[in-house]
Amino acid sequence: MFGGKPLPRALDDIRRYCGLSWSGGAPEVFAYPYFDALEERIEDDEIRPVDVLAASVLHPGLRKRDLTYFAQHRSELRDELEMLPSGLDLADASARVVERLTSLGSRVHPDCGLALLTKVLHTKRPKLVPMLDRALTDCYRRSTGGRGESVWGECVRLFRDDLVKEANRAELTGLQTRLRVELGERVPSALRLADVAIWMAAGER
């Protein structure tokens, strides 16, 4: 359960997103091969053009000022990533790390907005950084009472609380194990699997 609501179709929705067969039909194509399984992505502290381009699959309509932001703020964003440990799960993050995530907007708020920034940072820290979008904010709207950047910090904390829950951790770990048989090392993180299930359910795709 995420946001107090069950996700009964999570396995089917995740399999569909990942381009695998599912109980309702044949494999489909979503963003998985262009974002989650992109071999050119490297989980280091350097934001490269491929990271911005990969994020554009989930955030269409990149503008010139978006491209300019990532070109001109590479050093600042590198410093930010150095404070966000690579390989760390959000569920296991310390209070200090969670605080850095929740205050991201006040510290390095870009002209492009938090929605795009968090997608780009997620490419570098796929286990740790959630992505701000309407599906996530709607999932927790009963608790936050709002949408958009104003509820980013609250959503991070609530999402982390759900990821920490024993039942959710067991379910997501089990899903990763099952998917690894077909996807190998390109299995999305537990955070990303939860995000996909929330996003797919929100649009009833």
The rounded distance, in Å, linking the Cα atoms of 113 and 149 is: 8
Inside any domain, residue 175: yes
At 112 the pLDDT is: 82
Inside any domain, residue 37: yes
Q: Total structural domains in the chain?
A: 1
At 205 the pLDDT is: 55
> What pTM was computed for the model?
0.94
Inside any domain, residue 3: no
Task: Pick out the chain residues at pLDDT < 50.
Answer: none
Domain that holds residue 55: 10-203
Q: How many CB atoms lie within 10 A of CB 160?
A: 21
At 109 the pLDDT is: 66
At 49 the pLDDT is: 95
At 127 the pLDDT is: 98
Inside any domain, residue 5: no
At 118 the pLDDT is: 96
At 24 the pLDDT is: 82
DSSP label of 188 = P
At 60 the pLDDT is: 86
